[in-house]
Structure 1
């Protein structure tokens, strides 16, 4: 037993020595505009209800009461009065239109819209959206959409069989809406002479680094209010050029800090390990046991001219094979490169690495958040 233990320890030491030591992770700088935004600058969601016409018999059926009522109301606005029961809507579909109004969009600007069927239409392919007002959450109209619908898919059927590509009941109208009303966006507090930055990923260290980078460039004018907010006092010489001041802020370089995290996608076997992941020293053994069970049929014939009968028997064989387990020591590491190199030294596949990382986390040796997708 002592001899076996000595052999195992020797093997562990030999393997651990061959693991290459990689350099510490490189800190990458990025612009402030890529990790934060100025408060007050935001998108606004718009939506509307309309009709798509010109469909080739793939529109809503007579069961869609609101489609019939919508067609009747639309025709009435053009001076045509007709009962909804007399309408055949197979070439028309009731749809919902959604769009995103970007910040500082001005009247006359064009934005993309998405058109989605509301009822039992089979396809919107080849249809045209009629003029539809798009409203914000406050009920006011901010854009008007109209134009041919591009589905990027199709549905074709004949003789009881059909073939479909993508989702033909949802389409887009590129630049299909014209902005009618601008949304006021005061991105600077002129009364107090301040601008506020909001971090895309709130973090104490990153907020402090942004504050330090701005103070180094313009003097002590910032306060890191919380992990996601940095308040900046506008220098007096930029009072008449706030846009220029924001542009100067956005170009400053900063090194964002990130939490240690390991992201695992078990469906695809993908493992993404952040640069700040560290581990304590831990030993890992990787191997497998293969069990094979086989059956063979044997026929026993009696001698000629005897009173015996033919007997059929089944012979079952059992074979077990255990692959040699690779045992390796993962040393206490300060970089993700050492972790990957050590796991590769064991010959672990991505799915093996998933199981190994989960086991290391359960053992308390992995100092990172383990996120399973």
Structure 2
């Protein structure tokens, strides 16, 4: 199994360099989604709502809603709700979303409701970071989880029953202003900053449209001259985003996930000449108890005598040597030969980095 893991490592991190479309490498400045958030009530639950004696904000929200419909609850009257839950609502407003279009919303319980299954969200406004209302949400929830509880207090829960979604559950009411049609040059922002990739994007555009049309601004942004007419800008951008570019290769990195034991070694990782040995020392202490009893009629008392046994085992791992500037294949082969597990490989890589022999950035996530 150890050998299989390391060999898979080689196949994952040494892909061929292929050309990608600009739309896969970069986004257009100003063309972005916006986050919306809101608060509301889910009703129609089968006794699985908030316990209102522990969540007073649910009762306050319910009374406020009833007052808007002309229903007034006498002061001092105790209101007990079992079928209502206070929820947080969030959604993502896509770029150029127009009033009347619909978006999906996610609903999550704020109180101590046991389940939102079967509930319906009453109309709730969704606001942006500027405080304006951009959409109104309402509808029946789709909940993937469920729970069951017995009379003796035993219970079972599958997935998460206190969160759900409403497909097309919000109607857009306000459009987010955009400067896309301002007549200014278009700017592509690379999803992964790289000077080589930025230069190659500009070169491909200039080769297609003529010199000076595109200008790399830094390792992330490429500015491109564009038509002023909105319809022409759309056609122009459609053509640009489908141009293919060979991105620059990543810097040499070794990625270690300390929680899962996953290790990814980049293509350009090199190691200076160095010798490595790695072994584990195991100390085992076992305790047993023996009874000491005097012989025959001799004077003395029976005593309990502890008996301790200590054994030491050490793995006999040979030392292995990296030749000058080994490739990724050489590193994987050397580790396979010594039989190092992923945990051992982490320790070896960290020691190589500290010694200065590992010519790569060591990233622990």
Alignment TM-score > 0.5, same fold: yes
Which residue of the partner structure matches residue 69 of structure 2?
78
Structure 1 residues 148, 132: closer, same or farther in 2, change over 3 A? same
Q: How many Å apart are 1:310 and its aligned residue?
A: 6.3
**TM-score under structure 2 length normalisation:** 0.86
Give the alignment's Cα RMSD to 1 decimal: 2.8
Aligned to 1:69: 60
The 3-state SS of whatever aligns with 1:342 is helix
Q: Which runs of 5+ in 1 are unaligned?
A: 1-20
How far is 1:59 from its partner? 2.0
Alignment of structure 1 residues 6-155 onto 2, 5 Å: 26-60=16-50, 61-83=52-74, 85-86=76-77, 87-155=79-147
1:275-294 equivalences in 2 (<5 Å):
275-294=267-286
Residue 178 of structure 1 deviates from its aligned partner by 1.6
Look up the match of 1:13: none
Shift of residue 300, structure 1, vs aligned partner: 6.4
Number of residue-to-residue matches in the alignment = 350
Aligned position for 1:4: none
Is residue 2:234 matched to residue 1:243? yes
Unmatched 5+ residue regions in structure 2? 1-9
- Describe the shift of the 1:85–1:36 C-alpha distance in structure 2 as closer, same or farther (beyond 3 A): farther
Distance in 1 between the 2:63 and 2:258 partners? 53
Q: Give the one of 195, 200, 203 matched to 1:204.
A: 195
**Equivalent position SS for 2:42:** strand
Q: For the residues of structure 2 that align with 1:135 and 1:297, how far apart are their CA atoms?
A: 72
Is 1:362 aligned to 2:354, yes or no?
A: yes
Aligned residue for 2:177?
184
Aligned pair partner of 2:330 in 338, 360, 369:
338
Residues 302 and 348 of structure 1: CA distance in aligned 2, closer, same or farther (over 3 Å): same
Q: TM-score, normalised by structure 1?
A: 0.84
Q: For 1:201 and 1:24, locate their aligned partners in 2 and report how far apart those are by CA, in whole Å.
A: 19
Pair 1:222–1:318, CA change in 2 (3 A): same
